[in-house]
């Protein structure tokens, strides 16, 4: 008998998809199994409901829940333009959320880091939903502990997040990459930021393809530049939803006009085939400022396309490298 509802808690197999009511049932991300069992898993989706590090509007602690709810339609049909079911290629689970104690904020960094270490030490790809962008720093600390060498990042954002901060345990969603570069976790020469449109006197050597560059040169040029910068290095992808113009993503804490459209961002992500991705996150969705879920829907599509990138790479050898 086929599963008609609540596949996330009833489905026995990790792979495959089930059609169920878009307006009912348990809302795991794209109806994937809710489980803490990482055995046989390729990708673990998890939320980090944290927003104590914001510099303006709070509310992104509710982002993971909003992204999951916005993904129900994506689970109904084969993802466009891929045309295949990524869950036939990959075992993807919804690992739930990282537990945090907001009343003891100095525990936050290690709680997030240990959450990710538990995933990646099982050789599982972490796809993480924020929460504010600070969460990327402890994620990168976990990645550095596993992979050792300086990592490359592909960073979509309105802000470069390299403002000076020399306090080891400070919680600030605008200084993570200053810390990561200064502490030798990120190699700025092989990293790239896309969509930037706020000023900083020091971008710390990171290659910046600002929003105007994307508008002037087009998505295909941006894709070629990213691949030329990153090459075959281990790379972490982080997507701050405020990379999108507020017309496409009003539900965020620090909106900045002049950003990318949803179409531009998705086209770039879909073009990043063949890269050595080791993890990814989508952050800064604040649903209390959203309208008709358009920010959460954009975030869900971005996350779905990241999964499709991974699935496409896995299936490519069987398709003659197509």
What homologous superfamily is domain 13-319 in, according to CATH? Answer: Ureohydrolase domain (3.40.800.10)
Q: Please give the pLDDT value at position 314.
A: 87
55 has a pLDDT exceeding 90:
yes
CA–CA gap between residue 276 and residue 190 (Å, rounded): 13
Q: Tell me the per-residue pLDDT of 148-174, one tens digit each, with 9 for 90 and over.
A: 879 999 999 999 999 999 888 899 999
Q: How far is CA 60 from CA 1, 28, 286, in A?
A: 39, 18, 4
**Mean pLDDT computed over 109-119:** 98
Strand ranges inside 49-85, DSSP E: none
Q: Please give the pLDDT value at position 117.
A: 98
Count, in order, helices (H) and strands (E) of the chain.
9, 9
| Confidence band, pLDDT 50/70/90 cuts, at residue 62 | very high
CA–CA gap between residue 300 and residue 244 (Å, rounded): 14
**Mean pLDDT computed over 59-73:** 97
154: β partners:
192, 237
> In this structure, what token pair is assigned to residue 46?
């998890």
**Mean pLDDT computed over 110-138:** 98
pTM over 0.75: yes
CA–CA gap between residue 180 and residue 107 (Å, rounded): 19
Q: Tell me the per-residue pLDDT of 272-302, one tens digit each, with 9 for 90 and over.
A: 999 999 999 999 999 999 999 999 999 999 9
Domain borders along the chain are: 13-319
**Chain centroid to CA 29:** 13
User: For all residues of the chain together, what is the average pLDDT?
Assistant: 94
Q: Please give the pLDDT value at position 317.
A: 59
Asked whether 151 and 138 are in contact (CB, 8 A), the reply is no
CA–CA gap between residue 17 and residue 303 (Å, rounded): 17
Residues with Cβ < 8 Å from 76, sequence gap 6 or more? 19, 22
322 has a pLDDT exceeding 50:
no
Q: Please give the pLDDT value at position 321.
A: 36
Asked whether 151 and 190 are in contact (CB, 8 A), the reply is no
| Confidence band, pLDDT 50/70/90 cuts, at residue 319 | low
Q: Tell me the per-residue pLDDT of 227-282, one tens digit each, with 9 for 90 and over.
A: 999 999 999 999 999 999 999 999 999 999 999 999 999 999 999 999 999 999 99
Q: Please give the pLDDT value at position 1.
A: 41
CA–CA gap between residue 174 and residue 284 (Å, rounded): 12
Q: Tell me the per-residue pLDDT of 186-230, one tens digit each, with 9 for 90 and over.
A: 999 999 999 999 999 999 999 999 999 999 999 999 999 999 999
* CA-wise closest residue to 6 among 65, 53, 75: 75
279: β partners:
236
Location of structure tokens 């085939």:
273
């Amino acid at each position: 008998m086929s599963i008609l509802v609540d596949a996330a808690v009833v489905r026995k197999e990790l792979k495959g998809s089930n059609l169920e009511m878009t307006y009912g049932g348990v809302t795991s991300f794209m109806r994937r199994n809710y489980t803490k069992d990482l055995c046989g898993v390729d990708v673990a989706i998890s939320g980090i409901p944290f927003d104590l590090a914001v510099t303006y509007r709070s509310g992104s602690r509710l982002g993971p829940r909003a992204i999951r709810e916005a993904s129900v339609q994506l689970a109904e049909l084969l993802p466009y333009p891929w045309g295949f079911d990524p869950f036939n290629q990959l075992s993807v689970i919804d690992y739930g959320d990282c537990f945090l104690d907001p009343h003891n904020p100095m525990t936050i960094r290690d709680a997030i880091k240990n959450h990710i270490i538990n995933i990646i030490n099982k050789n599982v790809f972490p796809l993480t939903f924020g929460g504010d962008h600070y969460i990327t720093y402890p994620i990168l600390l976990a990645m550095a502990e596993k992979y050792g060498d300086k990592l490359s990042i592909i960073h979509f954002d309105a802000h470069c997040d390299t403002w000076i901060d020399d306090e080891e345990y400070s919680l600030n969603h605008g200084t993570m990459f200053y810390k990561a570069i200064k502490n030798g976790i990120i190699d700025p020469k092989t990293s790239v930021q896309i969509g930037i449109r706020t000023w900083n006197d020091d971008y710390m050597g990171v290659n910046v393809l600002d929003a105007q560059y994307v508008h002037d040169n087009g998505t295909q040029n941006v894709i070629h530049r990213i691949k030329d910068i990153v090459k075959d290095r281990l790379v972490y992808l982080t997507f701050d939803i405020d990379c999108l113009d507020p017309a496409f993503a009003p539900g965020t804490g620090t909106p900045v006009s002049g950003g990318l459209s949803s179409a531009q961002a998705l086209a770039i992500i879909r073009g990043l085939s063949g890269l050595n991705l080791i993890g990814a996150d989508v952050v800064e969705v604040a649903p209390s400022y959203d309208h008709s879920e358009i920010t959460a829907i954009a975030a869900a599509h971005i996350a779905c396309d990241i999964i499709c990138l991974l699935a496409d790479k896995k299936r490519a050898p069987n398709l003659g490298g197509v």
